[in-house]
Every structure is written in C-alpha cells, then in structure tokens.
Chains A and B, each alone.
Chain A
Amino acid sequence: MTETGTLERPVETKAKYNLIDCDIHPSMKTPAEIQPYLSQRWRDHLATYGGHTRQGLSETLSHPRMVPEVSRVDSWPPSGGPPGSDLPFLREQHLDNLGIDIGVLVPLRFNASGQRHPDFAIAIATAINDWQVGKFLDPEPRLRGSIIATQEDPANAVAEINRRASDKRFVQVLLPPRSIEPLGKRRHWPIFEAAVRHSLPLSLHVGGVGGHQATGAGWPSYYLEEHHSQVQTMQAVIASLIFEGVFEHFPELKISFVEGGFSWVPSFGWRMDKAWQTMRDEVPHVKRPPSGYLRQNVWFTTQPMEEPNPAKNLADTLRWIGTDRLMFSTDYPHWDFDDPRFAFKVPLTAIEKAAIFAGNAVNFYGLN
C-alpha cells in the first residue's frame, strides 16, 4: 500500500528586498541644521571654537577633492543646499529612480571620533544620531541609520550604543578606520562587546582623522594618492582585528568595510596567512589562518567597483573573496558613485546578484 504523500513543491517566496544600498551620505543644508540637537553650550562652542581634530586644516579635508562637496555634479538639489541635504530630492534622484528598498545612511560630517575635545565629541555624536532620526529615519521608511560612536572614548561609545540599540532603524555602529590606535587593540573591546550584545554589526567607512600620516610611508601630496590610501588603512585595521584576536574573542562580531573596494582582499589574506604561518608563535591567541576570519566575520561593500582590463579578471576576485562577502553600495551622492544597473562589468548569476544586491546585507544587518 502506498502512502499518500504530499507533493513537496518549492515555495517561491518573493524576496522582500531586491536592492539594498549600504552607503548613502546624508548632509545638512547648512551647518546650523545640527543646532536643534545640541544644547546651548555646544551651539556656542561650535560657533566659536568649532571642530578641533588631529590635522592641520580645521574646516576642510587634508586633500581637496576634484569636485565640490566630493559629489556628483548632477546631485545638487534644485531647491538648494549641498548634495544629500534634501530628502525629497534624495528620494527622487536616488531611492525612487533606482528602486532602492533599503538605504543605509553613513553621516560623515563633524567626525565625532576625530574630535579632540572629549565632551564635544560625545555631544556631537549623539546630536548626529538624533539628526538622522529627525531628518531622515522618521519621514522615510526606506532609510536606516548608523550609530555614531566615539571610538577614542570606548565607555561613552558603549553608552551611546546602549542608548540607540532599541531603535531598530539603527542598523550598525559606525567607526572611522583612521584612529589614534589600531581598532583591534584591547581598549576598544568594550565597543565590540556592546555591539555583539545588541546584535549590531560594526561598519568602518573610509576616513577618520587619527593623527597619523595618511599612509605608513608618510603624507602623500595628491588626492590621487590619498583616495587610494584608504585601502591601505583598511588593511591595517583588518590586520589589527585579526592579530589582536578580536574575532577569536568575539566570534559573532560582524564588521563591514565601506568604500574601500574589495579586489585587494584576497592577496591581503594570502599575505597575512603566510606571515602567520611563520610567526604564529608571536600571537598564539590567533588560532587559525587569518584569511579564515575574513571569510567569517568581515564583509565589504562593492563601491568603488573594481575595473580590471580585461573585465573578466574580476571573476577570479569574486571567486576568491566569496560572493557572500560583498554588499552593494552606491556612495551616493559622491563622485565615484556606482550605478547598480551598470556597475558590474562581469556577468553574475541570478543567485550571486540576489546575494550581492540584497541578500548579504539582509544577513549582515539582521533585516529578516
């Protein structure tokens, strides 16, 4: 007698998200826009002393860019203000135009971790988080925020993470790669502990003003070099996290590196592995080859997209790094923006596309 079985049909679920942009830069129409989120004391401070970071120029980046506001020339809102400062235009030109389901905000202004005044750093960090909520997260359900935390003051970083963690629209803790000491060092570990406790990933977006020369070789002269040097900074942060044993101690910690590209990751993993094989007795707490941690704890956003010649060489990189490690990003409204329709010049399978353009981010941010 045959049993009547139920014919199993694969249930076709429509993916909830098709396109997640992991790097959008919001900005302020004028610097005064932050004022409602600051107490009078800090409004006054900002209007007089201003920002006080570990570099020569106080109001501008060390290496001037090639376009105003580092931005696409066509991204200035018609109603005024700099690129990224106008939510209606952001919706029209970017979210609606490209069909973005979720966009993750990465605010760069004011550089909280880079501020030398310890109390101003705390005040500005929490103000920017409040500003994200008021200007973007409340009115626009497609947007998500990044918790700005003071890396140089881990106790206060933890307090800010604790403060924001229950608002699930904050999907990550944002830290700058350039800091006084490499991120893996033990004094930063309370930040990792808090992030893991709240199931929040960390994200490192290019930049920061750690007070060191922009490359290990010294200060470069040109933006051509400084743009590229962010890659080497990320390499240093990754090496620090791995060789300090952060991923051994916090195996659930997730961390993404944003706007550094990704083609350098495989060869950097090979280099770390070879050095570790010879010198693992110096770091017995690193229990397995470094590249293993890359495959387990670390993600990379895709912008700026790599453009090898011939284009098909990128397929090797994707295979070596693992397409589960990559999360699509546009860097809107910056000049080296990637359009999701045209960024990849190698063919991707449907599964790879789904993973890179949304699935991996869903996993990383815990959006399901």
Chain B
Amino acid sequence: MARHVVAKVDELDIGKSKLVKVAGRDIALFNVKGEFFAIANRCPHEGADLCRGQVVGLAESDEPGHYRMTRHGELVRCPWHGWEFDIRTGKSWCDPARTRVKSFDVSVAKGGALAEGPYQAEVFPVSIDEDYVIVEI
C-alpha cells in the first residue's frame, strides 16, 4: 500500500465529490461533514461514475405514511439507476442478504433495519496531513 496525495483539503467543500486518479484507479473522493472518504468510482452495478452521483441523506420510515431523513450527506446515489451507497463503508442499501424467507415468518424487524447487501463499492483509507488529503492504495 502506498500513500498518495489526491487533493488539498480546501478543494472539496462539504457535500461535494471529486474524481481523482490514483495508481491507475478512478477514485471518488467525498467530503462528508468535514471528513473525507474514498470509494472506487465505478458503480458495481453497471459501471456509472459514482463521483457524479447526488449526495443524499438516508430516507427511513417506521410505517407507511411516515418519513424520516437522517444521516444527511452520508450516502451517494448512483447517477444512473439511483442505487444508494453508504459513503463511509461503500455498502449498498438495497440488497438484502440472500437468505431464504420462511413461510409466514412475521418477525420482520421494524424501524428502518435495512440489511446491507452484497453490492459493495470498494473503499480506501483516507487521512489528512496538514492541508492535504491522502488516499492509501
């Protein structure tokens, strides 16, 4: 693993993203409330540029008709098919683990307990050194 300077801290405002090329890889760099995160730019679904996606919060609900927006600025929606990825972990929010559902098992967890699923954007460690954003690949 090598450390690469990819940007200056003040180049990327909160809520924004930037495409950086590191060691031949396209990386999407995000500023989430002052913290920096890096995920592989290529959406694992069909290859769109995640750096071009909308940065959004997490829409959750405990029951139909009730809506809650949390985790502002912590997710990115793929610019094509709108799949949501957690910027911090790269995990997608829509694919449940592929377990067989038992007949009439009514023990559904309430309250936005989305399962995190197999579609995963690769993440890279990010650190700050004075004014510089550093990605390890």
Query: What residues make up the interface of A, taking CB atoms closer than 8 Å to B?
Result: 66-67, 72-74, 309, 335-339, 341-343
Is A335's CB under 8 angstroms from B81's CB?
yes
Report which of B47, B80, B98 forms a contact with A72, defined as CB distance below 8 A: B80
Q: Let me know if B127 is at the binding interface, CB within 8 A.
A: no
Q: Let me know if B48 is at the binding interface, CB within 8 A.
A: yes
Is A309's CB under 8 angstroms from B54's CB?
no
Contacts of B80 in A (CB 8 A): 72-74, 335-337
Is A342's CB under 8 angstroms from B81's CB?
no
Nearest CB in chain A: distance from B92 CB, A = 14
Contacts of A338 in B (CB 8 A): 46
Q: A73-B54, A74-B49, A339-B46 are in contact. List 10 more A-B contacts (CB 8 A).
A: A67-B82, A73-B79, A73-B80, A74-B79, A335-B81, A336-B80, A336-B81, A339-B47, A342-B46, A343-B46
How extensive is the interface on chain B, given as a class? Answer: 10 to 19
Q: Let me know if B52 is at the binding interface, CB within 8 A.
A: yes
Nearest CB in chain B: distance from A82 CB, A = 15
The A contact surface, by secondary structure, is loop
In the complex where A66-B82, A336-B81 touch, is A74 in contact with B52 (Cβ < 8 A)?
yes
Q: Let me know if B53 is at the binding interface, CB within 8 A.
A: yes
Is B47's CB under 8 angstroms from A342's CB?
yes
In the complex where A66-B82, A74-B79, A335-B80 touch, is A341 in contact with B52 (Cβ < 8 A)?
no
Contacts of B53 in A (CB 8 A): 73
A207 to B84, CA, bound (A): 27
Nearest CB in chain B: distance from A63 CB, A = 15
Contacts of B54 in A (CB 8 A): 67, 73
Contacts of A343 in B (CB 8 A): 46
A73 to B77, CA, bound (A): 10
A241 to B80, CA, bound (A): 34
List 17 A–B pairs whose Cβ atoms lie within 8 Å, in order of A's numbering.
A72-B80, A73-B52, A74-B48, A74-B49, A74-B52, A74-B79, A74-B80, A309-B98, A335-B80, A335-B81, A335-B82, A336-B81, A337-B81, A339-B47, A342-B46, A342-B47, A343-B46
